[in-house]
C-alpha cells in the first residue's frame, strides 16, 4: 500500500513539474507589440527601438506612480 502512495506522489510531482515547465516556457517569450508600418524583427532579434520602448514604459510607470501619490495626499488636520 505504501508503494501505491509513493507512486501517486511521484506521478503528481511529475505532472506539476510538466505544467510548471509549460507555463514558464509561455512566459519566457512575450509577444512584441505590433506597430502598423513598422518592420518586424527576425526571431530572437531585439527590435531596433527596444531602448525607446523601455524608456517609454518607464516614463509611463513613473507618471502613474506620481498620479497615484497625488491622489493619496490628505489635507493636514491642524
Classify residue 56: in a domain, yes or no. Answer: yes
Domain count, the chain: 1
Least confident of 14-18, 62-66, 73-77: 73-77
Q: Indicate whether 54 belongs to any domain.
A: yes
Cell of 42: 527576425
pLDDT in tens, 35-49: 555 555 565 555 557
Rg (Cα) of the chain, in Å, rounded?
24
Domain span holding position 61: 47-72
C-alpha span between 44 and 10 (Å, rounded): 36
Global pTM value: 0.35
Amino acid at each position: 500500500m505504501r508503494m501505491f502512495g509513493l507512486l501517486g506522489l511521484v506521478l503528481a510531482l511529475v505532472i506539476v513539474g510538466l505544467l510548471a515547465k509549460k507555463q514558464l516556457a509561455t512566459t519566457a517569450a512575450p509577444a512584441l507589440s505590433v506597430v502598423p508600418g513598422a518592420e518586424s524583427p527576425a526571431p530572437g532579434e531585439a527590435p531596433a527601438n527596444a531602448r525607446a520602448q523601455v524608456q517609454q514604459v518607464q516614463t509611463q510607470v513613473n507618471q502613474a506612480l506620481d498620479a497615484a501619490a497625488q491622489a493619496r495626499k490628505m489635507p493636514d488636520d491642524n
